[in-house]
Amino acid sequence: MHLPALRAGWLTQTFVHWAYPPEEVQRLLPDGLVADTFEGAAWVSLTPFVMADVRPPGLPLALPSFPETNLRTYVRDRNGRDGLWFLSIEVSSPVMLAARAVGVPYHVGRLEVARRGDAVRYTGARRGGGPSYEIAVRPGEPVRPGPRDVWLTSRWRAFTRRFGALWETPVEHVPWPVRAARLDTVEQTLTRAAGLAPPTTAPLVHYSDGVHKVRLGISRPVRPARGAGDGAP
């Protein structure tokens, strides 16, 4: 990545993952993307965190830190490249709404991240009485990520759709340092608002102190699939 479009740190991040039938996730995806699976299941993750040291191009100083919460799933494009598809993104800073220009589904709301003893509590509600969430976790000891942990956290591009085209945004940062975590509370209506049935499986939970020096590249249209025009799906 020669010229990042945004620099930031993603800190105090919790990952709450639910397994879903692939066909349930697939119906929410645009043409050109298929649900990625791990051992036969598609996954949907709720990931609250703190955006820190946010530096858009041309600004001499970083923006103040603010909370953000993503509802995301895992996909592949027609060229087989893996990435993320965001079902929704809650954010407290209206500055981030500029990314709607390439289809990033930002929604402004009231978000908070607070530490209480050994617990981290995340709350949020979309402006206008929309979906909301409350999550409380107790971070544990560092763990060595297994194959599923790496699959769920190590994604280096995000896809969006705008102007009738699929776009991709590259992402660079060091691998997530992962901790075990105990989930005390999870109450949320974001999955329902995105068109998903309520989760029926127990969530898998990770916590990370975060990654610094995140670099998001310039968004660009996805190139046609290899073999386009010769009957390739």
DSSP secondary structure string, 8-66? EEEEEEEEEEEEE-HHHHHTTSPTTEEE--BTTBEEEEEEEEEEEEEE-TT-SSPBPPE
End-to-end CA distance of the chain: 29
Tell me how far apart the alpha carbons of residues 49 and 91 are, in angstroms, rounded to a whole number.
10
Of 5, 194, 31, nearest to 98 (Cα)?
5
* Residue 226, pLDDT score: 64
DSSP state of 224: P
Rg, Å, the chain Cα set: 17
- For residue 101, give the 3-state DSSP assignment: helix
Task: Give the bridge partners for 77, in sequence order.
Answer: 33
Q: What is the pLDDT of residues 131-175, one digit of tens each?
A: 999 999 999 999 999 999 999 999 999 999 988 899 999 999 999
CA 224 to chain centre: 24
* Residue 172, pLDDT score: 96
Q: What residues in the chain have per-residue pLDDT under 50?
A: 228-233
* Residue 233, pLDDT score: 34
* Residue 97, pLDDT score: 85
Quickly list H helices, the chain. Answer: 22-26, 147-153, 190-193
Integer angstrom CA distances of residue 163 from 102, 155, 173, 221: 8, 24, 29, 10
Of 107, 87, 84, 88, nearest to 97 (Cα)?
107
* Residue 230, pLDDT score: 40
Task: Give the bridge partners for 190, in sequence order.
Answer: none
